[in-house]
Amino acid sequence: MIADAPTVARAVCALRRAPVRGHVIDLVPYRAAHHERVIALRNTERASYFLHQPAPLTREGQAGWFASYLNKTDDLQWAIVRKDGAVVGATALYGIADDRSMAEKGRLVADPLLSKQGPYVLEAELLLLDVAFARLDLRAVTTCVRDDNGVMQHINARLGFERSGQHVIRGVEYFDYRLTADRYAPEPLRATAVAWAQRTSRTQGAPR
């Protein structure tokens, strides 16, 4: 996009052009066509609560955010797309430092009705961290989770994140987490995604 842009910014631009392929889902670079589904997912009671969203997201608001996103070179937003093409969520890696010291993962939203149907969130998290550590060569990824979001805290612990502090946003307590590249050990969790893809292939004849 920008010939003389810093290396990290160029890598971000390249990552915005192609999906990151997984076994049960792909991370597809976010585009306007995803607005409707992502707005619906973010406006569920559960997502609004855990994302501490002060008001329902609107199409105009999302379009405005997307316009500013396109001008950034430190932010990667993806739709989480199942192999059958269904958009099952969205996630992001942002605040990507030029010096490769860190980035933050967040803005995760997923269809709660599908949580038992496949490791969609798990593989989305793994693919995002693969991008962070293997393709952007970052040294650490941080995230924060609402203090009563036990499910996400547990998933972060599975991924190797360690508690690094806490802070308050608009009166709500958040726990801070940090994962360094040397602690990232995705293979046991990746095996679950692979096993599920194989199982789906056996039960349905082709991966979903």
Partner 1 sequence: MTVLAPVITANHVTRLQQVFTAALELAPDVDHSGLAYRETPQWDSVAHLQLVIALEAEFDVMLETDDVLSLSTFGDATTILGRHGIAF
Q: Among the candidate windows 39-47, 62-70, 80-88, 111-119, which touches partner 1 by CB under 8 A?
A: 111-119
87 contacts 124 by C-beta, under 8 angstroms: no
**SS3 for 73?**
coil
Between 75 and 123, name the residue whose CB sits nearer to partner 1: 123
Q: Which residues pair with 89 in a beta bridge?
A: 80, 110
**Per-residue binding letters, 113-142, with partner 1 (x by CB under 8 A):** --xxxxx-xx--------------------
Query: What is the distance in angstroms between the CA of the first residue and the CA of the last residue of the chain?
Result: 34
Q: What are phi and psi of 71, to 5 degrees?
A: -90, 0
Site for partner 1 in 146-205 (CB under 8 A): 150-151, 154-155, 158, 189, 192, 195-196, 199, 202-203
Residue with tokens 């009705």: 113
Closest approach of Cβ 46 to partner 1, in Å?
A: 12
Q: CB 150 → partner 1: shortest distance, Å?
A: 6
Tell me which H or E stretch contains 207: none
- Compute the residue count for the chain: 208
Number of residues in contact with partner 1, rule: CB under 8 A?
Answer: 19
Chain residues binding partner 1 by CB under 8 A are 115-119, 121-122, 150-151, 154-155, 158, 189, 192, 195-196, 199, 202-203
